Structure 1
Amino acid sequence: MIWKEKYKIGISTIDEQHEELFNRVADFLQAIRQDGRWEEKVDKVKDTMVFLQEYVVTHFDYEEKYQQTLGYPDCDEHHNIHEAFKADIQSMAQEFADAGYHEEAVQKLAGRLLAWLINHVVATDQKMAQYVTEQGLEKI
């Protein structure tokens, strides 16, 4: 389990979505680190890539709409960060489709996913939560 209570930003829907992302990445990490043939792990990698391509869009859309309703001043910057991550996920999915699911590339993906999630939630999303608190806005 890589999700920690300290990652919560105090906005329940977003916290639930973050926890789901962390849980999926944790399952992915566990699957690729288990003993067994690499070929058997490729299905988990493919499932994770499909999930990420779909779920991050849902999550990012929700988070950005919420920010817009708040009048969050860093909304455009936050959107650009999300767009870069979505492009990165698409690029990795295409790379895997073209070159195959090689263990080294998948390990690299795992590290990037975990680092991005932690850094984004702990730094960028915490700034949004701080803004909500300072402005006395509703946390939905």
Structure 2
Amino acid sequence: MAYNWDKSLETGNIIIDEQHKSIIKAINNLLDACNTGKGRLEVENTLIFLKDYVVKHFNDEENLQIKSNYPDYKSHKEKHEAFKNTVNDIYEEYKEKGANIGLVAKVNMSIGGWLINHIKSEDKKVADHIKSMK
């Protein structure tokens, strides 16, 4: 199942929204590759991208939260740290066992599903807080 960008995912912050789009595009590229029988080749590229990119993205988000005195910063950061661990765990599993359909399913559900839910719930709260500060 590909993930589609729509208004429900917009935070109103151009930088954060563009970063979210990049992450979703990487996951969709993997899913597209799987549909054409090239998923095993794309898994490593996707995982390396995600492993590096979520660190930058979460730092950017957390800096916005700090600047705006977001009251739930600590909890939000903990969610980010748990997600980074998930991405790292899946990457380590890939290195140990290689690419397989189960691993792709984990990327889809554990990474793609988490990200969509996180944007719609947690990141929206941050965006609303920042807007209320203006």
What is the TM-score with the length of structure 2 in the denominator? 0.92
Q: What percent of counterpart residues are identical? A: 33
- Distance in 2 of aligned mates of 1:6 and 1:29: 21
What is the TM-score with the length of structure 1 in the denominator? 0.88
Alignment of 1:26-37 (within 5 A): 26-34=28-36, 36=37
Give the corresponding residue for 2:12. 10
- Distance in 1 of aligned mates of 2:133 and 2:64: 14
Alpha-carbon shift at residue 135 of structure 1 (Å): 2.5
From the CA coordinates, give the structure whose radius of gyration is larger.
1
Matched AA of 1:89: V
Measured against aligned partners, the alpha-carbon deviations of 1:58-113 in whole angstroms (never above 9, x if no partner) come to 00001101110111111111110000000010011111111221212222321222
Q: How many residues align?
A: 132
102, 105, 109: which one aligns with 1:104: 102
> What's the secondary structure of 2:12's corresponding residue?
coil
Deviates more, 1:77-86 or 1:1-10: 1-10
Moved beyond 3 Å, runs of 4+: none
- Distance in 2 of aligned mates of 1:68 and 1:85: 19
Alignment of 1:1-140 (within 5 A): 2-34=4-36, 36=37, 40-136=38-134
